[in-house]
Amino acid sequence: MRTSYVPAAVSMLPWRMLFVVIALGFAGVLGLYSAAGGSLMPWAVTHAIRFTVFLGLALVLARFRAQTFHDYAFFAYAGGIALLILTLMLGVIGGGARSWLELGFIRIQPSELMKPIIVLVLARFYAHVPPAEIRRFSAIWPVAVFLGPPIFLILLQPDLGTTMLIVLNTIALMFLAGLPLRLFIGSGLAVAAALPVVYSFLLPHQKERVMIFLNPEQDPLGAGYHLHQSKIAIGSGGIFGKGFLNGTQSHLSYLPEQHTDFIFSAIAEEWGLVGGCVLIFLFFLLLRWGMGVALEAKNRFERLAAAGLTLTIFFYIAVNLMMVMGLAPVVGIPLPLVSYGGSAMLTVMICLGLLMSIDRHNRRDRQKL
Amino acid sequence: MRRRPRPIVTENSQVFTFTRRAMVLGGAQGVLSAVLAARMGWIAIAENERYQLLSESNRVQMRLIPPRRGWIVDRAGQPIAVNRSDFRVDIIPDRLKDEDRIIAELTALLELPPDEVDRIKGELKRAAGYQPVPVAENLPFEKYAAVTVRLPELPGVAPLRSFSRFYPDGAAVAHLIGYVGTPNKEEYEKEGKSPLLITPGFKIGKEGIEKTAEQRLRGRPGAQRVEVTASGKLVRELTTLQDVSGKPLPLTVDAGLQTFAARRLGDESGSVVVLDCLTGDILALASMPAYDPNSFTDGISQNEWKMLSQDERKPLLNKALNGLYPPGSTFKPMVAMALLQAGIDPKARVNCPGGFQLGNRFFRCLGRHGGMNMHTAIAKSCNTYFYAMGRRAGIDIISAMGKRLGFGEKFDIPVVSQNYGTMPSAPWKKMRFEKNPKLIERPDWTESDTLNTSIGQGFVIVNPLQLAVMSGRIASGLDIQPNLIRRNRPPPAPLPYPKEHFDAVRGGMWEVVNGAGTAGASKLELPGIQMGGKTGTAQVRRITGSQRGQSGAWKYRDHGLFVCFAPTDNPRYACSVVIEHGMGGARAAAPVAKDVLTYLFDKPKALEALARFEQQWGGTLAERMEARAKRWLAAKAAEQGTGSAPTAADR
């Protein structure tokens, strides 16, 4: 495999996965170029630059040993909490929530950074729980301790969407860590049983929101507008789409948030079912690679971290795509790597960097054998 | 508690659990990907047609192009009402958000006066959501562009390039032509909620000929398929179906004469009607004072409306058709025709000792005329002659002749309303008494009723158009019907009276102006052209003591009337002039008639005379109207106190 004229650091990179990531980023550039009415400004260029910089950052992260992340997980955690507190004090308000921190040269969203950090912390915790203890209560309550402060701080912003993703991610990680199955089945059933009761306690406008999710056509100009226009965009695209730069829903601004949360609909309008399925398939390949890394990992920390990080990426994609197709309520979650916006891309790139680091460890071990 | 032993967990079994559970989650990811792809396929293939339609209906909008309104032109084709290309701004109340902010911004951008802002706010309150409320019309391009540029921040504001109605002669044609305006709720519903009526910039006739000839003037709207953005901004036009503009409407009116007559009335309250006495064509139908129809087009401000409706000279009333007056002595030519019809010899004499004794009541004449025949009685306007002869002829024959010559008649002309007054008769009085006993003392016709009718007082009331028709029918001997729209009509039939009768009456009317008559001062100063006429002075209230309506408050003074025709040797034009509270026909009305008829034969001469008058009055019609509006606002401001005085004065 190794040829003498390519340095090991380069040839050892997971090129197939990098190709997938670059293809997704390029799809984003094309979508944003079209969304701006066939112009590189204001989105496409910025997106391309960010993508390159963050991919570079991911490759740098990949050079660290996985063990390093294990060792520094709690430092990162402490740093993350500090940033969250700072955000509450000095943060910039955007979209009704105080979730942005202005650092002069860049604006970051510390709650996003917290996602991979929490995965690392939990992975490290479960790596240290002795196998005999895993079915005990002592394997559960510390999770609440780790999760408590960041969740509390993020809810104060308030950012319900990020909180939900972190909780989902944590539950998935606990499932992988080997906690008894009945816990998940039992609480799942309990939540399902409680839903009608919870619904009856909801305020009228909250009930209305649920009803709109269940029947979006009932108010296509009001609360259901986003979803309605998104479905029109996807549906009118048909199999092969209206053609690049020919989307009417996006170019005439009927599709809201077409450069961020609804970029998938904008792309599907122009590239059709074919284009949309290619995107879904690319994401599937990326996730399959992540889960593959997790399955091959050599120790418990790396296994759990790799799976947790892959799931972090997965939840982004799943919630966004379900949302634009009307399978989930409209919550503001972008499509990673494709949507315009730095924070989600940074988070995903950090996840990918860590995954590559673990992957490198896997392969090195393989070669030693 | 524990039913089965806790399974032993080792590191190996933990790896196995992880692998198994990771496979489950990985599988779930795969399944979800498949579900998403399937869902997308469903939307994009199975529901493709429906969403394509929705996408098209998003993208493409039909827009109506309001048709250009047909011109109104005079008998020579000179325009009376035209369309001017115009930049305008409307508000669609339905799409309006944050009303106060937007009105404030428009006020700043368009420099709207406070009066207009009040009007807009008032109309917005009353408007039914879909009806556009005009903000401003005839904007200079810079202001229009300023609004267009800020459109994204001004939801509900619709700038538009369209056509607006323009009346070059302004107030002079106001009552004749009427005006146009934005359709109101009732009009919109009456036309089955036609979308054309709520298209911004579309106007319908609200008064006068603009209203009665609406269907002909309107034309057919065009349509345009346009691509629009979500915020309603036009991207491009796809297909356009041109509008069909309304047909021009030629009137019988002579625009120059109409304007001259209106201007010649000056500041008096009154009317001038000129007919072609061979065809019945109405050449002028002027009523003054009037409003400026141009200021009605973009909605009238409250102040303007108040000023018009509170004016005692009633600028909103078309006096030529809706003003009713006792005809006074202008009635006498018709009565003379009746006397001749009754077989009375025009040479028969009646002695005038200053009045006529009927039973124990003495009916006054204006002078002691001595021996009078028909010719001199018309010339001197001797009441005694008409009392005596009218009594001899009887009411039946007078009433029949009155109706034959146009009194009490409603003419077939396209106007919004005409008040046709009363030509009294014995059956009429009886019916009137039965309907309302309070108005009339007794049901039976009395001889004193006949006497009053003979001199055009008592129950008789007429409108100025009827006076002109009477004059025209006597002048030509033809049964003319007044006509306002130029078209081919059969020539009028002659009236069934002998030529000698007409000659006798026309002779008396010639004497009025050209001989020893009441209107000698108003003789036409044209070589070879003479006019015949009859003056009239109508009492506004009963004579009390010595005060004969010749002094005192304006509104109690007598009306001055004059009917005439010219040239006397070959009558062509007939005319009536009514000057409200002008105190006398010879004094107030006849000079106006003289100048109006002069205009028909010698324009420069008439215009020269008018120029002299306008200099005396203090400016042209438009200038004087503006000055009057200023005075009114200043007076109003003074009434309200000092607070709003400066703003009102600015206007």
Q: Residue B117 burial (CB < 10 Å; 0-12/13-18/19+)?
A: middle
- Region label for B113, one of left (φ > 0), alpha (ψ between -120 and 50) or beta (otherwise): beta
Closest-CA residue in chain A for B41?
A: A273
Q: What are phi and psi of B541, to 5 degrees?
A: -140, 170
Residue B508, pLDDT score: 92
Q: B612: how many CB neighbours lie within 10 A of its CB?
A: 10
Helical (H) or strand (E) element with B573: strand B573-579
Q: Which of A131, A307, A325 sits opposite B22 (nearest CB)?
A: A307
**Cβ-defined contact of B51 to A232 (cutoff 8 Å):** yes
Among A131, A304, A314, whose Cβ lies nearest the Cβ of B9? A131
Interface ipTM > 0.85: yes
CB A357 within 8 A of CB A120: no
**Euclidean distance between CA atoms B646 and B651, whole angstroms:** 9
Residue in chain A lying closest to B11 (CA) = A131
Q: What is the mean pLDDT of residues A221-244?
A: 86
- Spatial distance between the Cα atoms of B276 and B264, rounded to a whole number of angstroms: 20
CB neighbour list of residue B131: distance below 8 Å, 6 or more residues apart: B93, B182, B183, B184, B185, B188, B198
Question: Which one has a higher pLDDT value, A208 or B434?
Answer: B434
Question: What's the token pair of residue A227?
Answer: 């979803």
- A178 by Cβ neighbours in 10 Å (0-12 / 13-18 / 19+) ranks as buried
Interface test with B, best of A129, A232, A277, A301 (most B CBs within 10 A): A232
At A320 the pLDDT is 92
Could you give phi then psi for residue A5, rounded to 5 degrees? Answer: -90, -5
Query: For position B23, what pLDDT does the model report?
Result: 92
**Looking at residues A211-220, what average pLDDT do you find?**
69
Among B232, B590, B273, B288, which residue's Cα sits nearest to residue B462?
A: B273
- Cβ-based contacts of B151 with chain A (< 8 Å): none
- The CA-based dihedral angle spanning residues B354, B356, B361, B364, taken in that order and rounded to the nearest 10 degrees: -40
The reported pLDDT for the residue numbered B644 is 43
Q: What is the pLDDT of residue B10?
A: 81
pLDDT at A48: 94
Residue A321 neighbours by CB under 8 Å, 6+ apart? A264, A280, A335, B36
- C-alpha of B559 from chain center: 23
CA B159 – CA B106 distance, rounded (Å): 11
Three-class secondary structure of residue A182 per DSSP: helix
How far is Cα of residue B36 from the mean position of the Cα atoms in its chain?
69
pLDDT at A206 exceeding the cut of 80: no
CB contact under 8 A, B40 and A252: no
B560: which strand partners?
B537, B579
What is Dmax (Cα atoms) for chain A?
Answer: 69
**Contact, A178 vs A300, CB < 8 A?**
no
- Give the residue among A63, A169, A56 at the shortest CA–CA distance from A112: A169
Please tell me which residue, B611 or A196, carries the higher pLDDT value.
B611
Cβ contacts of B17 on chain A, cutoff 8 Å: 178
Beta bridge partners of B245: B219
User: From the candidates B3, B9, B18, B60, which should be mutated to test the interface with A, based on the most A CB atoms within 10 A?
Assistant: B18
Q: What is the DSSP letter of B478?
A: B
Beta carbons of B260 and B101 less than 8 angstroms apart: no
SS (H, E, C) A207-253: HHHHHHHHCHHHCCCCCCHHHHHHHHHHHHHCCCCCCCCCCHHHHCC
First to last CA, chain B: 95
Provide block-wise average pLDDT over 10 residues at a time, chain B (651 residues).
Answer: 65 88 93 94 91 86 84 91 86 80 86 84 75 81 85 82 86 90 85 82 88 90 82 75 88 93 90 93 92 80 81 87 92 94 92 90 88 91 93 93 92 90 91 81 87 91 94 93 90 92 93 86 88 89 56 82 92 94 87 93 91 88 85 81 44 36
For A252, the closest of B48, B51, B235 (CB atoms) is B235
Q: What is the pLDDT of residue A119?
A: 95
Which chain A residues are Cβ-neighbours of B33 within 8 angstroms? 280-281, 283-284
Q: What is the pLDDT of residue A89?
A: 86
- Residue of A119, A236, A282 to mutate, interface with B, max B Cβ within 10 Å: A236
Chain B hits for A178, Cβ within 8 Å: 9, 14, 17-18, 21
Are the C-beta atoms of A175 and A139 separated by less than 8 Å? no
B50-70 in b/e form (b: 16+ CB < 10 A) is ebbebbeebbeeeebbbbbbb
Which of A135, A249, A273 is nearest residue B58 as measured by Cβ atoms? A249
Ramachandran area for residue B597 (φ above 0: left; ψ -120 to 50: alpha; else beta): alpha
Q: What is the mean pLDDT of residues A216-223?
A: 65
Sequence length of chain A is: 369
